[in-house]
Chains A and B, each alone.
Chain A
Amino acid sequence: MIELDHVSKSYGARDSVSDLSFTVDKGAFCAVVGPSGSGKSTTLRMINRLIEPGAGRIRINGEDIGSLPREALRRRIGYAIQSVGLFPHWSIADNIATVPRLLKWPEERVQQRIDELLSLLQLNPATRDKFPHQLSGGQQQRIGVARALAADPEVLLMDEPFGALDPITREALRRELSRIHQSTGKTILFVTHDIDEALQLADVIAVLRDGKLVQYGTPMQLLLQPANDFVRDFMGGETLGLKLLALRQVAERVKPEPVPGEPIAPETSLAEALSQMVLRRTSRLPVRSAGGGAGGSIGLSDLVA
């Protein structure tokens, strides 16, 4: 659990973050979104004290982070950034082992952990002995995430980790992060300016503007009850309806009326179903049943219901 309690930070006369309070529950995936200069990276970097907060308290699992030595705190928090920052003179294995070695894990356990993480991030075991410059951008970012997860931290902080990657690699890594989040149950704080990324990954989203919290809620709350025009515009403005469709699954709207054709899966998003309707020039699509029995269908009018 991460608690921000009236946290402020100013540079000169300008407030970078002002009076920020929100709580991320244990195991939640929280996206911090906002335009450039809204203070989202500053917020993230105060949590591992790369930046010291000017005022207020930050607690992790109830413990005030100001009461811990900085290095000890950071070794308990995973950190991944857009520019990755792998150590170029260390092998991939040594890069991943950074924090476990700082924590003086026995070498046997370190080696075992490196293997675990390579397989968790679906990397070839031969990557172990390579050096960062020998890897592609996507592979480097996977190593960056593996390094952040290495010492099994309670909290994972990520600052636009996939921002520099091509769309296909980015999508693959988002899916993997989602899977890792589900399997490890880590509390994740994820900074992004890409609202689609936030909607796809997060359980809860904090919208920042000019260092202030504008709205904090689930993706559904933000889409259905945006606090103001800024949030509405940031969430997509005119295309807000489509984002809403992207969050819901066909299974919620399926009708027991079978129609012929290639069925779509029940976990398909409503946005994808709409896309299929357009592509197939039909207003009703067959849906495969979840249990294996008789399927149903979904119609255009079901999307808006």
Chain B
Amino acid sequence: MRRLRDPLLWLLPLLLFLLLGMPVLRPLFAAAFPGTTPPIYGDDSFLALFLSHAGYVALSSLAAAVIGIGLGIVATREWGAEFRPLLEALATIGQTFPPVAVLALAVPAFGYGPAPTMIALTLYGILPILKNALAGIGSVSPAVREAGEAMGLTPFQRLRDIELPLAAPTILAGIRISVIINIGTAAIGSTVGAVTLGNPIIGGLVNGKVAYVLQGALVVGVFAIVTDLFFERLGRRLRRFAARD
């Protein structure tokens, strides 16, 4: 019975329904918004918008994770320790910069289309991951580090077998923040020429078609929640293996 209380169990089917079955809701939207024709956004299918949107988020988050974790590793090595204060400041200050502003700044630099969105998402996505990688690797206790070294683990073995597994829950939390922010920011990417679930929202706003705004927002919202729940579940699984001393 407890499994039924898991929100993922009904939110995931809801997302699938919204992506594939939106036309079923046509009478509902037609009744609620009689002036809108067609009542369902039809320039692209929601599935196509979703796949493109999710693609942006996945690619940019993957790149952000590789760069963020990589920089986090470098700054926590003995030879890279000089970079640490700089990167820490950058990650903290950078995150106070609104993601929309990053997107806006990417346009004059890279023009319209998918490029500025990808770049803005990646750059902004690095920050929370880097911050958490620094915190996670930095929080491995000095005793554990010393023991690893004294047992004769090589620097690479210490990183792979001790530091990264212990930092994994914290790093994952950073990736989670990054992905969730990017799902939202990618929607705004529609304004600069990226094809995302923001298309019906932006198009609806521009043309005064509230029904489209509602449809787009509903899909983006459920997508974000499902993703967040998925990360929460993954995090719980990781923490079970990495109980702190």
Q: Which residues of A contact B (CB under 8 A)?
A: 48, 50, 70-75, 77, 79, 81, 83-89, 98-99, 102, 131-133, 147
Contact = CB atoms under 8 A, between A and B. Distances in A.
10 contacts: A50-B146, A71-B152, A71-B153, A74-B151, A85-B144, A88-B243, A89-B241, A102-B151, A102-B152, A102-B153
A74 B150 contact: yes
B147 interface: yes
A251 B157 CA distance: 54
Given A81-B146, A85-B145, 9 more contacts: A50-B150, A79-B147, A83-B142, A86-B147, A86-B245, A87-B147, A98-B153, A102-B153, A131-B243
Closest 7 CB pairs of A and B: A85-B147, A85-B143, A83-B143, A74-B152, A75-B152, A88-B245, A79-B150
A84 B144 CA distance: 8
Given A81-B143, A84-B143, A133-B244, A89 B165 contact: yes
Nearest to A150: B151
Contacts, number: 69
A84 B142 CA distance: 10
A140 to B, nearest CB: 8
**Looking at chain B, what size class is its interface with the partner chain?**
20 to 34
Contacts of A102: 151-153, 157
Contact of A89 (B145, B147, B154, B166): B166
Nearest to A88: B245
B148 interface: yes
B166 A147 contact: no
A75 B151 CA distance: 6
Nearest to B161: A87
B92 interface: no
Contacts of A81: 143, 146-147, 150
B82 interface: no
B49 to A, nearest CB: 41
Interface of B: 141-154, 157, 162, 165-166, 241-245
Contacts of A79: 147, 150-151
Given A85-B141, A85-B143, A133 B245 contact: yes
Contacts of B153: 71, 98, 102
A209 B157 CA distance: 37
Given A88-B242, A88-B245, A133-B243, A147 B151 contact: yes
A87 to B, nearest CB: 6
A74 B148 CA distance: 10
Contacts of B152: 70-75, 99, 102
A72 B146 CA distance: 16
A197 B147 CA distance: 23
With a 10 A CB-CB cut-off, give which of B141, B147, B149, B154 has the most chain A CB atoms: B147
Contact of A50 (B149, B166, B241, B245): B149
A277 B146 CA distance: 48
Nearest to A83: B143
Nearest to B147: A85
Nearest to A71: B152
B245 to A, nearest CB: 4
A87 B147 CA distance: 8
A75 to B, nearest CB: 4
Contact of A87 (B149, B150, B154, B162): B162
Contacts of B150: 48, 50, 74, 77, 79, 81
With a 10 A CB-CB cut-off, give which of A79, A89, A147 has the most chain B CB atoms: A89
A98 B152 CA distance: 9
B27 to A, nearest CB: 55
B180 to A, nearest CB: 26
A147 B162 CA distance: 16
B243 to A, nearest CB: 5
Contacts of A74: 149-152
A84 B148 CA distance: 11
A287 B152 CA distance: 51
A85 B245 CA distance: 9
B242 A89 contact: yes
A301 to B, nearest CB: 51
A221 to B, nearest CB: 32
Contacts of B146: 50, 81, 85
Contacts of A70: 152
Contacts of A133: 243-245
Nearest to A76: B152
